[in-house]
């Protein structure tokens, strides 16, 4: 006896790609959002940028939650990179070192004044 399994083939339909719940629609724009937040862009401005440039309709609150869940922060004094001055300054000397320099500086000692004439 020949057993054949028959499968009913459904017609192929066009469906929107399913995005798993833990993956945001904003994920492809993560680098841009991070750069904008680093430049202190507000969430509303980012939402408008996404709408204007990528035709993504999203509320500012969704942008805010995306940033919080991925630790994307705006630039603050606490997380700002330290910028070094372009001018070079001499290292500070201790007060003792300054006194020793004054005492032992050869140009400040008059050799002739200590000898008796």
> pTM for this structure?
0.50
Q: Is residue 25 within 8 Å of 19, Cβ to Cβ?
A: yes
Structurally, the chain folds into a number of domains equal to: 1
- Whether residue 88 lies inside any domain: the answer is no
Per-residue pLDDT at 14: 78
Give the range of the structural domain holding residue 65, as residue numbers without chain letter: 26-81
Tell me the CA distances in angstroms from 112 to 73, 102, 109, one per residue in order.
Answer: 69, 18, 9
Residue-wise pLDDT tens digits, 54-99: 999 999 999 999 999 999 998 876 666 665 555 555 555 555 555 5
Report H helices in 30-94: 30-38, 43-54, 60-69
- Whether residue 72 lies inside any domain: the answer is yes
- Whether residue 21 lies inside any domain: the answer is no
Maximal C-alpha separation, the chain: 138
């Amino acid at each position: 006896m020949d057993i054949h399994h028959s499968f009913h083939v459904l017609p192929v339909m066009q469906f929107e790609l399913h995005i798993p719940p833990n993956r945001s629609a904003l994920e492809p724009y993560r680098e841009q959002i991070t750069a904008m937040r680093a430049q202190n862009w507000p969430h509303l401005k980012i939402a408008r940028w996404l709408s204007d440039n990528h035709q993504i309709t999203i509320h500012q609150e969704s942008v805010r939650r995306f940033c919080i869940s991925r630790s994307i922060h705006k630039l603050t004094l606490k997380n700002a990179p330290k910028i070094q001055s372009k001018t070079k300054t001499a290292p500070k000397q201790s007060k003792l070192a300054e006194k020793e320099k004054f005492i032992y500086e050869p140009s400040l000692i008059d050799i002739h004044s200590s000898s008796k004439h």
